[in-house]
Amino acid sequence: MALVKRTHLRGAGTAGVFRVEGMERLLKNIQRLPGNIRAKPLRKAVRASGNVVLKRARRLAPRGRGAPVRNDGSPRKRLADTLKLKVWPNARDKSGKPVMAIIGSRSGEAPHAHLVHQGTNPHLIRSKRGTTLKLFNGKYARVVRHPGARPNPYLTNALAASRNQVYQKMKNILRSEIQTQLYTMIDRP
């Protein structure tokens, strides 16, 4: 049995979609509950367990060695500060689609996040037509050979490291929330 399975979600950008294996039985039992009882507890459990992974991912994300400001003078955020959690579909969606937590960088704040996570092969960086690239040593060039970068799968590692916590958090919240929902339903006249 695989520890985690990574799949791609169309439009997810730098956010990978991960599924914790071994939770199928728990989720199958939850699907037997009526929709009005399971929807809110399931989203709450997914959000809480997603936050466990998000905290760990922020600790594991690389610190970076780049300049503290961008070319336009605005401050550059650390990759860890751009990570966010999104629970999908949202609470208003009654389509019955499986609820999932998507963790990734905010759009536009870290366009390099996927390159850090997945690494890059050695490649050439060419200047735009009629311009040159300024190198770190103060020299200029039209073409630079980038040596590539090793992958740093901080999101995958965060999920793998917090798998047991995710399962326990989800189980505990679902148990308490579903009990609360059922007691509320029984107490209604």
Within a domain: 112: yes
Work out the widest C-alpha separation in the chain, in whole angstroms.
79
Given this model, what pLDDT does residue 129 score? 82
- How large is the average pLDDT for residues 12-16? 48
Within a domain: 144: no
Lowest average pLDDT, out of 75-84, 87-96, 111-120, goes to 87-96
Given this model, what pLDDT does residue 19 score? 57
Within a domain: 129: no
- How large is the average pLDDT for residues 77-100? 77
Q: What is the mean pLDDT of the chain?
A: 79
Separation of alpha carbons 115 and 117, rounded Å: 6
Within a domain: 51: yes
Q: Which residues form the domain of 177?
A: 4-120+150-187
Give Cα 168 to chain centroid, integer Å: 19
Q: Which residues pair with 100 in a beta bridge?
A: 88
Given this model, what pLDDT does residue 18 score? 53
Within a domain: 64: yes
Model confidence, pTM = 0.72
- What pLDDT, in 10s, does the model give residues 92-120? 555 666 778 889 888 778 888 899 999 99
Separation of alpha carbons 119 and 148, rounded Å: 7
Residue 9: pLDDT band (50, 70, 90) is very low
Cis link prior to 89 (omega < 30° from 0)?
Answer: yes
- What pLDDT, in 10s, does the model give residues 124-169? 999 988 889 888 888 999 999 999 999 999 999 999 999 999 989 9
- What pLDDT, in 10s, does the model give residues 16-41? 555 555 566 666 766 666 766 667 88
Within a domain: 103: yes
Q: How many domains does the chain have?
A: 1
